[in-house]
Structure 1
Amino acid sequence: MENDFSYKLRAIRLAEGLTQPALNKVTGLPLSSIKNYESGGNMVGLETVKRILTVERFQKYTLWLMIGKTSEAAGQISPPLAHTGRAKTESPLLTDRAG
């Protein structure tokens, strides 16, 4: 879960257009902790998650941050930078072959 959280925290921060110092100001989390969370160096506790999710602009990511799911009907989304669905695997068909 730690690597998953590291990825998710960074995705949320980038989606909201925040630097690590700006995230520090918004959440009150120490800058060194934010850097360690994003690099996977620190364990993340429930209090840290609560501090992030009590910030109103991050509440739309609660479901995704906690369990990796979204519910657009309930206003729960993932950041646009996060890949949560199937990757597009289609390739253009070759309609004109030489030879």
Structure 2
Amino acid sequence: MSTPVFEKIKLIRESERLNKRQFSELTGIAYSSLAGYESGDKKPGVEQIMKILQHPRFTKYTLWFMADQITPEAGQIAPALAHFGPQTTPSSHSDQKTG
């Protein structure tokens, strides 16, 4: 299941520990537009997405943003806060008692 664009933008910003104002200044995207993108009220155009992904700080997220894939060996990762992988993590419980 693909992550919506508005959520991906927010994940990138939060993963880089930037507030909306800082992210807006780095990318050149108006603060009000960014707020609309992150809330899902507005859809960013190609130009706005390119402003984000072409910034040197955010190019590492390009493959994840565009195709929901990562290749760490090529420097393409998902934001630290993004869920990437199985929806649930299986856990095998042992009968060992602790304490």
User: Which residue of the partner structure matches residue 80 of structure 2?
Assistant: 80
Q: Which residue of 2 aligns with 1:46?
A: 46
Q: CA deviation at 1:95?
A: 3.5
Count matched residues: 94
What runs of 5+ residues in structure 1 fail to find an aligned partner?
Answer: none
The equivalent of 2:95 in structure 1 is 94
2:64/2:77 contact within 8 Å kept:
yes
Structure showing greater Rg: 1
Deviation string for 1:25-56 (max 9, x for gaps)? Answer: 10010001110100101112111111111110
CA offsets 1:2-21 (integer angstroms, 9 cap, x no match) = x7111111111011110000
Q: CA RMSD in A?
A: 1.4
Aligned partners of 2:6 and 2:43 also within 8 Å: no
State the alpha-carbon separation in 2 of the partners of residues 92 and 34 from structure 1.
44
Identity %: 37
Task: Determine which structure has the larger helix proportion and give its number.
Answer: 1
Unpaired runs of at least 5, structure 2: none
TM value normalised by structure 1: 0.87
Which secondary structure state, in structure 2, belongs to the residue aligned with residue 56 of structure 1? coil
Q: Which moved more, 1:80-89 or 1:14-23?
A: 80-89
* Residue in 2 that maps onto 1:9: 9
Alpha-carbon distance between aligned partners in 2 of 1:17 and 1:91, rounded to the nearest angstrom: 34
SS at match of 2:95: coil
Q: TM-score, normalised by structure 2?
A: 0.87
SS in structure 2 at match of 1:43:
coil
